[in-house]
């Protein structure tokens, strides 16, 4: 790009000769936030021109990709998008400023409803849902914000396929449990506990099985405090869970369950770990 020479001999970036409105048009025509950042880094005049509207490009980006989500795309176009970090996912994974993340969420929710998978990017893009990104990054405070904002807790099909068939069958209709299972899969126990405590449906055997099967002992300990595990049949329930833990080589979960079972009902001790160790998979 050629430079104009000012009377004092200094070179003047051509962009300074353009009306501010035209600079804004250039800004709006850029395809991604990365393009804008790169241009702003190499041209201070451009950076100054867009500074008053820092979130405007995110609005345009969300709107553009909402339109993309409504039409068929080629594999080449999908690959191009996968190589770029979406502003909302970048913020969820990297930014500490929750207020900024909330503003970006508000922008995306206008375009993508509640940010669940059926109104998110097409599966060909392989773009994780916001809750998936937050769980993977271990961002409990962001997961809490997503729940407060009413964001969907669904997962992409690829992520859900990692679950054991029994877990999926036990929790097939509960989106919040999908996120719970994903947190257990990623060993994000604080997040899993939060999602369990804020689940949308009643507790089911799938919650305990997921926590046990994926060896999340802290989560198992919390679930054991639920009234459904503290009735007259507690001993049998805990023994069944312990057997599952042993079959899965989930040592941490097995130790928690054995302690719970050993306390028994009305002080009766159970040698549950000894029973479970008879299974050939126990290490």
Q: Sign of the CA dihedral 66, 69, 74, 79?
A: positive
Tally of domains in the chain: 3
> Domain boundary residue among 161, 191, 217?
161
The reply to whether 29 and 102 lie within a common domain is no
The reply to whether 184 and 138 lie within a common domain is no
Question: Mean per-residue pLDDT for 102-119?
Answer: 73
Percent of the chain past pLDDT 90, that is, above it, reads 15
Question: Which segment, 6-15, 99-108, 129-138, is predicted with the most confidence on average?
Answer: 129-138
CA dihedral 183→184→188→189, nearest 10 degrees, is: 120
260 or 177: which leads in pLDDT: 260
pLDDT tops 60 at residue 230 = yes
Inside any domain, residue 282: no
55 or 203: which leads in pLDDT: 203
Inside any domain, residue 86: yes
Q: If we measure between CA atoms, which residue out of 210, 211, 187 comes closest to residue 138?
A: 187
The reply to whether 142 and 181 lie within a common domain is no
Please report the pLDDT score of residue 63 as a whole number: 73
Q: If we measure between CA atoms, which residue out of 175, 184, 169 comes closest to residue 154?
A: 175
Residue 19's CB is within 10 A of a number of other CB atoms, namely 8
> Domain boundary residue among 130, 161, 192?
161
Beta carbons of 245 and 233 less than 8 angstroms apart: no
Chain-wide mean pLDDT for the chain? Answer: 73
pLDDT interval class at 173 (50, 70, 90): very low
Range of the domain at 28: 14-54
Inside any domain, residue 196: yes
Separation in Å, CA 16 to CA 21, 49, 51, 245: 12, 9, 15, 67
Inside any domain, residue 283: no
Question: Which pairs with CB-CB distance under 8 Å and at least 24 residues apart come from 261-267?
Answer: 261/235, 264/235, 265/232, 265/234, 265/235
Inside any domain, residue 177: yes
- What global pTM score does this model have? 0.70
Structure tokens at 21: 């409105």
The residue length of the chain stands at: 283
Which tens digit of pLDDT belongs to each residue from 265-282?
A: 333 344 555 555 554 444
Beta carbons of 241 and 212 less than 8 angstroms apart: yes
Inside any domain, residue 3: no
Residue 134's CB is within 10 A of a number of other CB atoms, namely 27
The reply to whether 213 and 182 lie within a common domain is yes
Question: Which segment, 22-31, 79-88, 198-207, is predicted with the most confidence on average?
Answer: 198-207
Inside any domain, residue 8: no
């Amino acid at each position: 790009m050629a430079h104009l020479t000012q009377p004092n001999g200094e070179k003047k970036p051509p962009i300074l000769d353009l009306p501010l409105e035209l600079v804004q048009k250039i800004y709006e025509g850029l395809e991604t936030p990365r393009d804008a950042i790169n241009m702003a880094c190499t041209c201070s005049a451009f950076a100054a021109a867009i500074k008053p509207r820092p979130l405007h490009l995110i609005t345009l980006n969300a709107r553009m990709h909402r339109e993309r989500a409504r039409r068929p795309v080629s594999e080449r176009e999908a690959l191009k998008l996968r190589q770029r970090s979406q502003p909302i996912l970048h913020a969820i994974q990297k930014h500490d400023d929750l207020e900024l993340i909330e503003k970006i969420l508000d922008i995306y929710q206008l375009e993508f409803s509640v940010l669940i998978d059926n109104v998110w990017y097409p599966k060909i893009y392989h773009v994780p849902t916001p809750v998936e990104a937050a769980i993977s990054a271990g961002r409990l405070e962001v997961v809490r914000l997503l729940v407060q904002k009413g964001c969907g807790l669904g997962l992409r099909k690829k992520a859900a396929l990692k679950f054991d068939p029994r877990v999926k069958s036990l929790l097939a209709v509960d989106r919040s449990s999908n996120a719970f299972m994903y947190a257990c899969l990623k060993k994000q126990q604080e997040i899993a506990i939060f999602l369990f405590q804020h689940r949308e449906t009643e507790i089911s055997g799938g919650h305990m099985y997921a926590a046990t099967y994926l060896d999340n002992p802290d989560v198992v300990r919390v679930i054991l405090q639920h009234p459904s595990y503290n009735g007259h049949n507690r001993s049998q329930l805990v023994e069944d869970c312990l057997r599952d833990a042993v079959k899965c080589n989930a040592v941490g979960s097995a130790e928690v369950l054995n302690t719970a079972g050993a306390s028994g009902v009305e002080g009766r001790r159970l040698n549950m770990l000894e029973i479970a160790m008879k299974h050939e998979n126990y290490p």
